[in-house]
Copies of this chain bind each other. A is one copy, B any other.
Amino acid sequence: MTDIEKMSAAARAAGRALALTDTKTKNDALLLMADRILKNKDRIKEANAKDMLFAREKGISGAMLKRLELTDGKMAQMAEGIRQIASLQDPVGEVIKGYKRPNGLEVRKIRVPLGVIGIVYESRPNVTADVAALCLKSGNACIMRGGSEAINSNLAIAEMIVSACREAGIPEGSVNIVRTTDRAAVLEILKQKQYIDCIIPRGGKGLIRFCIENSDVPVIEHGDGNCHTYVDRSADPARAEKLVFNAKVQNPSVCNATECLLVHKDIAPSFLPKTAGRLADAGVELRGCEKTVRLLPNIKKASPDDWATEYNDLILSVKIVEDLGEAVEHIGKYGSGHSESIIADSASAIAYFQSACDASAVFVNCSTRFNDGFELGMGAEMGISTQKLHARGPMGLSEMTTSKYIVTGNGQCRE
What residues make up the interface of A, taking CB atoms closer than 8 Å to B?
16, 19-20, 99, 101, 105, 107, 112, 114-115, 193, 197-198, 212-213, 216, 218-220, 239, 242-243, 246, 250-251, 332, 354-356, 358-367, 369-371, 375-377, 387-390, 392-393, 402-415
Contacts and interface: CB of A to CB of B under 8 A. Distances in A.
B218 A216 contact: no
Contacts of A16: 332, 356, 358
A377 B99 contact: yes
A96 to B, nearest CB: 11
Given A364-B407, A411-B242, A376 B107 contact: yes
A250 B414 contact: yes
A409 B198 CA distance: 35
A360 B115 CA distance: 13
Contacts of A243: 411, 413
A405 B218 CA distance: 23
A198 B392 CA distance: 14
B408 A365 contact: yes
Contacts of A332: 16
A414 B361 CA distance: 16
Contact of A388 (B114, B359, B387): B114
A406 B197 contact: no
Given A99-B377, A107-B376, A392 B402 contact: yes
A406 B375 contact: no
Contacts of A355: 19-20
Contact of A403 (B20, B376, B393, B405): B393
B360 A410 contact: no
Contact of A409 (B112, B364, B402): B364
A177 to B, nearest CB: 23
B388 A405 contact: no
B115 A366 contact: no
B411 A365 contact: yes
A260 B230 CA distance: 59
> Top 7 closest A-B pairs, CB basis?
A366-B409, A246-B413, A369-B414, A361-B405, A388-B402, A390-B390, A366-B412
B220 A193 contact: no
Contact of A404 (B250, B361, B370): B361
Contact of A197 (B213, B242, B389, B410): B389
Contacts of A407: 361-364, 366, 370-371, 376
Given A365-B410, A367-B414, A360 B216 contact: no
Contacts of A246: 413-414
A376 B405 contact: yes
A406 B364 contact: yes
Given A20-B356, A216-B212, A377-B101, A370 B198 contact: no
A375 B101 contact: yes
A239 B410 CA distance: 9
Given A19-B355, A404-B362, A413 B242 contact: yes
A354 B332 CA distance: 45
A287 to B, nearest CB: 23
A364 B250 CA distance: 54
Contacts of A101: 375-377
A375 B20 CA distance: 29
Contacts of A375: 101, 105, 414
Nearest to A355: B20
A347 B163 CA distance: 36
A288 to B, nearest CB: 24
A411 B243 CA distance: 7
Nearest to A408: B364
A415 B369 CA distance: 10
A404 B354 CA distance: 9
